[in-house]
């Protein structure tokens, strides 16, 4: 009888011990791993590749994320999701930060905190060669395609034009290639990638119509500790030319 009780106590102890060990492991993993959310549909910033830098993911942002991890002695994990879900996932604590060529906007600033910006971009128009769209106002009576939730959608919406929104840049560009729309409005560096991949497309810029945009990393509101780490790393990467190096490496024309 006594023996059995002892056994039970020992077993219970073992269960308690392993439970603590488990939670201990989980905690340790959380502390040492930085989880970045992205939407890997935005070359050259993030895309899926057969030989990715982190898992199957590669691009300027993935290289930046990896460097932030390295600088802080942390492993980096990438969570790929829809662009529209990123800020919600951040607010839910599902991810620690968002790195997604994300433009800092007043509206987004109400929901999350942004890092020091690391890239300057703008919206451009992709059209077919020979198109009569020469400036943003020429889109007025054209079939416009944007990507859902991107700042390009906000711009076109603010201009008061009708448009159709697609989930992925590649789908939008296919629509243009197939002659089903006249113009795609999207970020400059991504547009450069798409026209490099598809014959017969050109970029039309209108700097009066489209303001410049800054990309930054987002963290949950008030997560100052992580923001400070990210900012220190980004500021270093800007100062020592690392960001420029990554941009050149992944830009249009260079090997992926
Ligand atoms: N810069 C644009 C925005 O912030 C588009 C970003 C799209 N990024 C992505 N990873 N799909 O809305």
Question: Mind listing the pLDDT tens digit for each residue in 88-99?
Answer: 999 999 999 999
**What pLDDT is recorded for position 161?**
98
Compare 243 and 255 and report the one with higher pLDDT: 243
Cα 206 to middle of ligand 1, angstroms: 19
Q: Residue written as tokens 């900012």?
A: 231
Per DSSP, the three-state class of 66 is: helix
Mean pLDDT within 177-182: 98
CATH 3.40.470.10 assigned to 32-118+216-251: no
Tell me the CA end-to-end span of the chain in Å, nearest whole number. 70
Name the pTM for this structure: 0.88
pLDDT band at 28; cut points 50, 70, 90: very low
Question: Mind listing the pLDDT tens digit for each residue in 123-166?
Answer: 999 999 999 999 999 999 999 999 999 999 999 999 999 999 99
pLDDT band at 30; cut points 50, 70, 90: low
Instruction: Name, in order, each residue with C-beta under 8 angstroms of 22's C-beta and a sequence gap of 6 or more.
Output: none
Question: Mind listing the pLDDT tens digit for each residue in 60-108?
Answer: 999 999 999 999 999 999 999 999 999 999 999 999 999 999 999 999 9
Q: State how far the Cα of 51 lies from the Cα of 54, in Å rounded to an integer.
A: 9
What is the three-state SS of 93-157?
A: CCCCEECCCCECCHHHHHHEEECCCCEEEEEEEEEECCCCCCCHHHHCCCCEEEECCCHHHHHHH
In this structure, which topology does domain 121-212 adopt according to CATH? D-Maltodextrin-Binding Protein; domain 2 (3.40.190)
Give domain limits for the chain: 32-118+216-251, 121-212
* Helix ranges restricted to H, the chain: 2-32, 60-71, 86-92, 106-111, 151-159, 169-177, 188-197, 224-239, 242-250
Q: State how far the Cα of 57 lies from the Cα of 65, in Å rounded to an integer.
A: 11
**What pLDDT is recorded for position 24?**
46
**What pLDDT is recorded for position 78?**
98
Measured from the CA of 149, which atom of ligand 1 is nearest?
A: 12
What is the average pLDDT score of the chain? 91
Residues with CB under 6 A from ligand 1: 38-39, 41-42, 46, 83, 100-103, 150-151, 187
């Amino acid at each position: 009888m006594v023996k059995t009780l002892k056994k039970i106590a020992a077993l219970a102890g073992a269960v308690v011990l392993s439970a603590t060990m488990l939670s201990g492991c989980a905690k340790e993993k959380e502390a040492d791993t930085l989880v970045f959310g992205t939407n890997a549909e935005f070359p050259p910033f993030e895309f899926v590749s057969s030989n990715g830098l982190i898992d199957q993911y590669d691009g300027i942002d993935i290289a930046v994320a990896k460097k932030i991890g390295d600088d802080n002695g942390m492993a980096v994990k990438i969570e790929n999701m829809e662009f529209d879900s990123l800020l919600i996932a951040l607010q839910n604590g599902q991810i620690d930060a968002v790195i997604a060529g994300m433009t800092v906007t007043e509206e987004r600033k109400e929901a999350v905190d942004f890092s020091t910006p690391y890239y300057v971009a703008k919206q451009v128009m992709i059209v077919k060669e020979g198109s009569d769209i020469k400036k943003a106002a020429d889109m007025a009576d054209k079939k416009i395609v944007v990507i859902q939730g991107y700042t390009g959608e906000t711009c076109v919406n603010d201009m008061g034009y009708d448009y159709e929104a697609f989930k992925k840049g590649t789908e939008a560009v296919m629509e243009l290639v197939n002659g089903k729309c006249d113009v795609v409005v999207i970020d400059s560096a991504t547009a450069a990638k798409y026209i490099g991949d598809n014959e017969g497309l050109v970029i039309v810029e209108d700097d009066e119509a489209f303001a410049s945009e800054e990309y930054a990393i987002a963290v949950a509101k008030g997560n100052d500790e992580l923001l400070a780490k990210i900012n220190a790393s980004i500021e270093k990467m800007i100062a020592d030319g690392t960001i420029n190096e990554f941009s050149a490496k992944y830009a249009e024309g260079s090997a992926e």
